[in-house]
Structure 1
Amino acid sequence: MILTEQGELLYSATRDMAKRLAAATARIRDSEDAVFGELRVTTTTGFGTLWLAPRLTKLYDQFPNLKIDLMLDERIVDLPMREADVAVRMKEPSQADLIRRRLMDVRMRFFASKAYIDRHGMPETSDDLMRHRIVGYSPNANQVSAGQAWLRPFLSADTPSHLTMNNYYGVLQATLHGLGIGALPDYVAAEATELVNVVPSQASGVVPVYLAYPEELRHSKRVAAFRDFILEEIALYRRSLKDREET
Structure 2
Amino acid sequence: MNGPDGPDGLDWSDLQALLAVARAGSFSAAAREGGASQPTLTRRIAGLEARLGAVLMERGAAGIRLTDAGREAMARAEAMEDAAARLSLSAARRGRGRGVTGVVRITASRIVTTYLLPPLIADLLDAEPGLEIELVASDQTSNLLRREADIALRMYRPTQADLVARKVGMLAIGLYAAPAYLDRHGTPETPEDLSRHRLLGYDRSDLVRRGFAAAGLPQPREAFRLRSDDQVAYWEAVAAGAGIGGGQVAVAARDARVRRVLPQAPIPPLELWIAAHAELRASARVRRVFDHLVEGLGRVVAATG
Q: TM (normalized to structure 2)?
A: 0.69
Q: Among residues 37, 45, 61, which one is paired with 2:110 in the alignment? A: 45
Where does 1:157-196 land on structure 2 (aligned, <5 Å)? 159=223, 162-196=225-259
Higher Cα Rg, which structure: 2
Per-residue deviation at 1:216? 1.1
Which amino acid letter does the alignment assign opposite residue 148 of structure 2? E
The sequence identity of aligned pairs, in percent, is 30
Q: Structure 1 stretch 5-14 or stretch 101-110: which is displaced more?
A: 5-14
| Corresponding residue pairs, total | 236
Are 2:193 and 1:132 aligned?
no
2: CA distance between counterparts of 1:219 and 1:26? 8
Would you identify which runs of 4 or more consecutive aligned residues in structure 1 move more than 3 Å?
Answer: 1-9, 151-155, 238-242
**Partner SS, residue 218 of structure 1:** helix
Per-residue deviation at 1:55? 2.9
User: Unpaired runs of 5+ in structure 2?
Assistant: 1-66
2: CA distance between counterparts of 1:216 and 1:197? 43
- Call closer, same or farther: CA 1:76–1:3 in 2, change over 3 Å: closer
- Call closer, same or farther: CA 1:158–1:18 in 2, change over 3 Å: closer
**Partner SS, residue 224 of structure 1:** helix
CA deviation string 1:143-194 (max 9, x = no partner): 8x5x4512466551664x6111122322222222211112212221121134
Which amino acid letter does the alignment assign opposite residue 226 of structure 2? L
- Call closer, same or farther: CA 1:76–1:238 in 2, change over 3 Å: closer
Per-residue deviation at 1:63? 1.0
Confirm or deny: 8 A CA contact 2:171 2:301 kept in the other structure. no
Tell me the C-alpha RMSD between the 2 structures: 2.5
2: CA distance between counterparts of 1:4 and 1:118? 58
1:231 corresponding residue in structure 2: 294
1: CA distance between counterparts of 2:74 and 2:178? 54
2: CA distance between counterparts of 1:65 and 1:215? 23
Are 2:202 and 1:156 aligned?
no
Per-residue deviation at 1:5? 5.5
Q: Structure 1 stretch 1-10 or stretch 38-47: which is displaced more?
A: 1-10
Where does 1:69-80 land on structure 2 (aligned, <5 Å)? 69-80=134-145
Are 2:147 and 1:82 aligned?
yes
1:63 corresponding residue in structure 2: 128
Confirm or deny: 8 A CA contact 2:145 2:277 kept in the other structure. yes
Which amino acid letter does the alignment assign opposite residue 168 of structure 1? Q
2:164 corresponding residue in structure 1: 99
Q: Structure 1 stretch 170-179 or stretch 122-131: which is displaced more?
A: 170-179
Are 2:90 and 1:24 aligned?
yes
2: CA distance between counterparts of 1:157 and 1:164? 9
Q: Among residues 211, 232, 236, which one is paired with 2:274 in the alignment? A: 211
Per-residue deviation at 1:4? 5.4
User: Unpaired runs of 5+ in structure 1?
Assistant: 243-247
1: CA distance between counterparts of 2:187 and 2:71? 62
Confirm or deny: 8 A CA contact 2:250 2:301 kept in the other structure. no
Confirm or deny: 8 A CA contact 1:155 1:162 kept in the other structure. no
Which amino acid letter does the alignment assign opposite residue 286 of structure 2? V
1:245 corresponding residue in structure 2: none
Per-residue deviation at 1:67? 1.4
Per-residue deviation at 1:229? 1.6
2: CA distance between counterparts of 1:82 and 1:7? 21
**Partner SS, residue 88 of structure 2:** helix
2:177 corresponding residue in structure 1: 112
**Partner SS, residue 33 of structure 1:** coil
Q: Structure 1 stretch 187-196 or stretch 93-102: which is displaced more?
A: 187-196
CA deviation string 1:33-78 (max 9, x = no partner): 3111111111111111111124311011011221111122222222
1: CA distance between counterparts of 2:89 and 2:128? 22
Confirm or deny: 8 A CA contact 2:249 2:304 kept in the other structure. no
Confirm or deny: 8 A CA contact 1:137 1:183 kept in the other structure. no
